[in-house]
Amino acid sequence: MKTSGGSDAAKRRAGESAAAAVDDGDVVGLGTGSTAAHAIRRLGERVDAGLDVRGVPTSFASRELAADRGIPLLDLDEATGPDAPGIDVAIDGADQVAVGDGGPTAGPLIKGGGAAHAREKLVDAAADRFLVVADPSKEAAALDRPVPVEVLPAGRSAVAEAVRAAGGEPTLRRAERKDGPVVTDNGNLVLDCSFGEIAEPSALATALSATPGVVEHGLFVDLADEVHVGTDSGVRVLTR
């Protein structure tokens, strides 16, 4: 369930701002979505100009774009295994960012509009720094968008019942331009779970993670170090 809104210029400014934070020699997590794509394109330009980086893609789409832009790639296991270099910084988008009363603090996120949140969370959590790129339409005083939950196909009904018991309403995500549901890069299904305004994202994240059949959910709590918000005139950087 991708979010719409926000100008392409604002998204580009956010992506390029985060890409500017990447240093020579870094291993970079490459996120998924239209705003993260601007960061990948800018990194490709910097690689053409001599920047030495390696990217860890979070989805088929980000891998394809990075390869097309000439960014050398590593698998997650190559970046984080024994004697591996680690991930210095990850750049990824968000479907919603809680910013409280609009002050300078970055709060929890909802991700998963592109159904890549399981791999995104692996990469983003492994990074020394996680930079979120967004436009103003993604900011909110409190999280209230449906939370994407990736589920094992055999566990779809059981997870749906657990979501209802927790006060949510699950909806199976349907594919566009084909019959049937969305299938993730991992071969699983996605339930978009509406809870209304989420007063305690950390508690809900814990409950979803503990539900048998859940592969991963789209609540990213205490992970973002910075949020680069592109606007029509520049970039605002929120920090945790």
For residue 68, the tally of other CB atoms under 10 A from its CB is 11
Q: Do 11 and 39 touch, CB atoms closer than 8 A?
A: no
Say if strands 87-93 and 235-239 run parallel, antiparallel, or are unpaired: unpaired
Q: Is 120 a catalytic residue?
A: yes
- Which is the catalytic residue, given 16, 120, 150, 226? 120
Q: Which CA distances in Å does 54 have to 12, 36, 43, 71, 234?
A: 21, 16, 10, 6, 28
Active site residues: 120
